[in-house]
Each structure stands twice: as C-alpha cells, then as structure tokens.
C-alpha cells in the first residue's frame, strides 16, 4: 500500500500494520505532480524506529534522480539540509502559460552528462540519513 501526500504517523498505523490481519507492505512515497507524482519510496519495516521520528521518504524510483542542493544548486553533504530537486524521465516540461515560474522551478540539470536535461526544484527541504534514505523536513510527525 502506497501512502503519500502527507507525513505518515507510524504510531497511528502501527497496530494495524503489525497485526495478523494486515497482509500489505506499506510504502511511504514522495513526489510532485510536476514529476509524475511518485519519485521516491520507502517500505516501512520496524515501526518502533519511527514512533519518535519521521518516516523516511526513501530512495528514488527507477529512472529518477533526487538531489539535495543549496541555493546555488551545489550538493549538500550527507546529513545536511538542502532543497529536494528531482531529475529523470518523469520531470515535466513546465507550466502552461507561466514561463517565469517554469524558468524558476525547471532548471538545467548541473549533473547531466551528454544531452541537456532539467531538474525540478520542489521547494521542499530534506536531508539524507546515514543509510542514504531521504528524510523530508516538511510535515515532520513525532506522535
């Protein structure tokens, strides 16, 4: 089961998810409509781990790249906060009838080798954990 759009409260779904009645794997997904909605996923396993922290939004799906960048589009070190930027096959062409916003949010991919591609600047903040999973800082739930 894919859950996304809002931060997951592990304590609210834990009892059901760990029950014998639940036969689903639960994945936290993250993305933007500008990038085909789902760009990352994280399958929940140990609910104790997330009761006092947020559930990671995970790693990129196939044909997707996720970067954490500073204001100058330079990568931030692991464990530091940066803007979540998405690249890959799912990145859209821009906004209809809004050239200024398109130029602001859909920028040249500084990590693209070969033909030019674009990344989408989500405006969301995140950081990579030590296991290289992405944590979103938006909507942090700790209950």
Q: Which structural domain, as residue segments, surrounds residue 114?
A: 2-136
User: Kind and range of the H or E element at 102?
Assistant: helix 99-105
Q: Has residue 143 been placed in a domain?
A: no
Q: What CATH number is associated with residue 57? A: 2.30.38.10
User: Going along 4-81, which residue ranges are E strands?
Assistant: 27-30, 40-43, 59-60, 64-69
Q: Has residue 106 been placed in a domain?
A: yes
State the pTM of this model. 0.89
64 DSSP β-pair partners: 88
3-state SS assignment for residue 13: helix
Contact indicator for 125, 69 with CB cutoff of 8 Å: no
pLDDT tens across the length of the chain (143 residues): 999 888 888 888 888 998 999 999 999 999 999 998 899 999 998 888 887 778 999 999 999 999 999 999 999 998 899 999 999 999 999 999 999 999 999 999 999 888 889 999 999 999 998 889 999 887 544 33
Structure tokens at 84: 């979540």
Q: Has residue 19 been placed in a domain?
A: yes
Count the domains in the chain. 1
Q: Has residue 26 been placed in a domain?
A: yes
Q: Has residue 142 been placed in a domain?
A: no
125 DSSP β-pair partners: 83
């Amino acid at each position: 089961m894919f859950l996304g759009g809002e931060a997951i409260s592990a304590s609210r779904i834990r009892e059901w998810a760990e029950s014998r009645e639940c036969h689903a794997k639960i994945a936290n997904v993250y993305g933007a409509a500008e990038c085909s909605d789902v760009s990352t996923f994280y399958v929940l396993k140990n609910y104790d781990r997330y009761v006092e922290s947020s559930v990671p939004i995970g790693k990129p799906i196939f044909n997707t790249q996720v970067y954490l960048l500073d204001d100058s589009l330079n990568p931030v070190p692991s464990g530091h906060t940066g803007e979540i930027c998405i690249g890959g096959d799912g990145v859209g062409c821009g906004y209809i009838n809004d050239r200024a916003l398109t130029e602001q949010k859909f920028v040249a991919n500084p990590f693209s080798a070969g033909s030019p591609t674009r990344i989408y600047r989500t405006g969301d903040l995140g950081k990579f954990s030590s296991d290289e999973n992405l944590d979103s800082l938006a909507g942090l739930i700790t209950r």
